[in-house]
Structure 1
């Protein structure tokens, strides 16, 4: 239940238009999203923080249709100026994930493909160097 302070903040805060779209979390691969959330929170805070990460997991994993606006208000005390960009990116990924057959955001799939291609290039270069040495 939101406190009166949270309710006032919800009314006073300007949110991006995509926050008006609902996300059905049953269509989203939560494991993929949780991995992204944990990594992003660690990146923002400069270290792992199980409390903030678990809070975010609970806010996204609890209801079928989470309230991103309320989530942003609740995370602000922890993520400070990074809260709005974090929530916007999280919501964009969730919106993308719910329209994907695997429940994985296409942006994360593309990033993983690029990472795998780069690994292959590095492996090939390393093999070439080893062959040249011997």
Structure 2
């Protein structure tokens, strides 16, 4: 079912609002919905409308999300563009004076998202960075207890962020190295949730395919470090995304064994193949 309205009444209202300058200037900019991560935007729509109304209204939320999802005309099958001004007209009956500011805010996020890697508004990423600092990395390792009586017990150890910048290539520091990485989790990961998504349902096959695509792009990048850092910030499921995928200096035995073996075997400045660990799939630099 489509919530899109094309009646004469709405067109007349839209025309009057245009003459009055009631539409924000940002609504004149075009948006390519195919470049946007709609799941992230839909979550924001739900939270923002609930905040404006004081309760969760499924009808209003559904109206907005359906308009954003509709890319073809239900009658002709022809491609259609989301009309932000028409959306504002439709929402006026529900949000009253808040309809204009809401649609302008939504449209600004869509414009930001279409120009960002993976279609996530950069303002969301920056906000998440502030929330995650200071933060611990996702990669943990189960180590044996030094107490012989506890040899059969295992405990998790987490590495905290190094607040100083460092080169992404493995650098020896008294048997320590520093790396950057991208982690993509999938439904079979040890903990299928992250700062980006509470419940990850992505299949392992799709996660591998996505990371392989990223790897191909990185291999032809003019600046591998900057490119990986950018992709990590936008897409990595590890909290290290807040630092462009940077993991603080670590020794052998500090992290997951599979991850460590791959990291320590890399030559400086060389991008790894896809590494499969209990946390998910990685690219390491």
Q: Do the structures match in fold with TM over 0.5?
A: yes
**Does 2:110 align with 1:94?**
yes
Which residue does 1:106 correspond to in 2?
122
Question: 1:47 is paired with a residue of what secondary structure?
Answer: coil
* Offset of residue 119 of structure 1: 7.3
Q: Deviations over 1:31-79 (max 9, x none)?
A: 0000000000000010111111011101111126211000000011111
- Using a 3 Å threshold, how does the CA distance of structure 1 residues 119 and 73 change in structure 2: closer, same or farther? farther
Specify which of 71, 77, 85 is matched with residue 69 of structure 1.
85
* In 1: Cα distance, 2:97 partner to 2:38 partner: 25
* In 2: Cα distance, 1:5 partner to 1:114 partner: 45
Query: Which 5+ residue runs of structure 2 have no aligned equivalent?
Result: 72-79, 137-285
**Cα RMSD after superposing both structures:** 1.5
* In 2: Cα distance, 1:56 partner to 1:81 partner: 17
| Higher Cα radius of gyration | 2
Which residue does 1:33 correspond to in 2?
41
Q: Pick the structure with more strand per residue.
A: 2
* In 2: Cα distance, 1:92 partner to 1:98 partner: 10
Which residue does 1:5 correspond to in 2?
9
Which residue does 2:64 correspond to in 1?
56
Which residue does 1:131 correspond to in 2?
none
* In 1: Cα distance, 2:131 partner to 2:102 partner: 22
Question: 2:118 is paired with a residue of what secondary structure?
Answer: coil
* Structure 1 stretches of at least 4 aligned residues deviating more than 6 Å after TM superposition: none
* Offset of residue 17 of structure 1: 1.8
| Greater RCO structure (CA 8 Å; 6+ sep) | 1
Specify which of 13, 16, 22 is matched with residue 30 of structure 2.
22
**Does 2:100 align with 1:84?**
yes
* In 1: Cα distance, 2:46 partner to 2:126 partner: 19
* Offset of residue 100 of structure 1: 0.5
Query: Which 5+ residue runs of structure 1 have no aligned equivalent?
Result: 121-134
TM normalised by structure 1 equals 0.84
